[in-house]
Structure 1
Amino acid sequence: MALWDRLKESAQTMQAQLEAKKNDLKSGAFRDASMAMCALVAAADGSIDQAERQRVAQLIAANDVLRNFAAEDLRQRFEGYLDKLTADFEFGKVGILQEIAKVKKKPTEARAVIQIGIVIGGADGDFDATERSVVREACFTLEIPPGDFDL
């Protein structure tokens, strides 16, 4: 099986797992951590262009699990986190990881945030090394072994 097919299958499997837990993923902390993760993955290489920003925003809006929340609210949070990362990536990343850490004591939410990062990162068929690296950092922040997600 080609790498592209494995990546696509893995993202689909994770999305299905997220959808199965949809009713457990309604907290404000999960919403915020998810948008922080999406921004972190989108800006993983240290920058984000307008096309990538729009693509990730569309993926967020289309994600069934994230439909628990108002689309405009998600967009504003995502954009706010991106603004922090584009202003100063390293400093912004510290704040983003702190936001993600707020779900650490809720294992279902913590794992779902990691899965969302993988789904967003793999949506274009190229879950590249910088995207994997920031998701791995989020795993460490949440005290989840990266190996649980093949990272």
Structure 2
Amino acid sequence: MALWDRIKESASSMQAQLEAKKNDLKSGSFRDASMAMCALVAAADGSIDPSERQRVATLISTNDVLRNFPADDLQRRFNAYVDQLTADFAFGKVSVLQEIAKAKKKPTEARAVVQIGIVIGGADGDFDPSEQAVVREACFALDLPPHEFDL
């Protein structure tokens, strides 16, 4: 199976798992950690261009699991995290990972945050090494083993 197909299959599988847990994913900590994860994946290479920012914003607004929350609220939070990361990536990453870590109190939410990162990273068919690396870092922040997610 080609790498492209494996990435698409993995992202699709993660999305299906998320949808199965949709009713359990309604807390503010999940919302905030998810938006922090989306921003971290979008800015994984240290920068984010406007088209990439728009692509991720569109993915957020169309994700069935994230429809538990108002789209404008998610957009505002995503943009705030992206702004932190683009102002000073190293410092912003520490802050964003701290936000992600707040979801570790609930294992279902923690796993869902990682799955959202994988879905966002793989949405363009190229879950590149920098995106994988930040999702792996998020796993450590959430006390989850990266190998559980094939990272």
TM-score, normalisation: structure 1: 0.99
- Matched residue SS, 1:126: coil
**RMSD over aligned Cα, in angstroms?**
0.3
- Residue of structure 2 equivalent to 1:29: 29
SS at match of 1:103: helix
Corresponding pairs, count: 151
Unaligned runs of 5+ in 1: none
* Pairs within 5 Å for 1:62-77: 62-77=62-77
Partner of residue 6, structure 1: 6
Deviation string 1:40-65 (CA, Å, 9 cap, x unpaired) is 00000000000000000000001000
Percent identity between the two aligned chains: 79
Map residues 55-66 of structure 1 onto 2, 5 A cutoff: 55-66=55-66
Tell me the amino acid that sits aligned with residue 32 of structure 1. Answer: D
What corresponds to 1:116 in structure 2?
116
CA distance in 2, matches of 1:29, 1:137: 18
1:53 aligns with 2:53: yes
Give the Å deviation of 1:105. Answer: 1.2
4+ aligned runs moved over 2 Å, structure 1: none
Code of the residue aligned with 2:11 in structure 1: it is: A
Tell me which residue corresponds to 1:94.
Answer: 94
**TM score, norm. by length of structure 2:** 0.99
Q: Structure 2: which 5+ residue stretches go unaligned? A: none
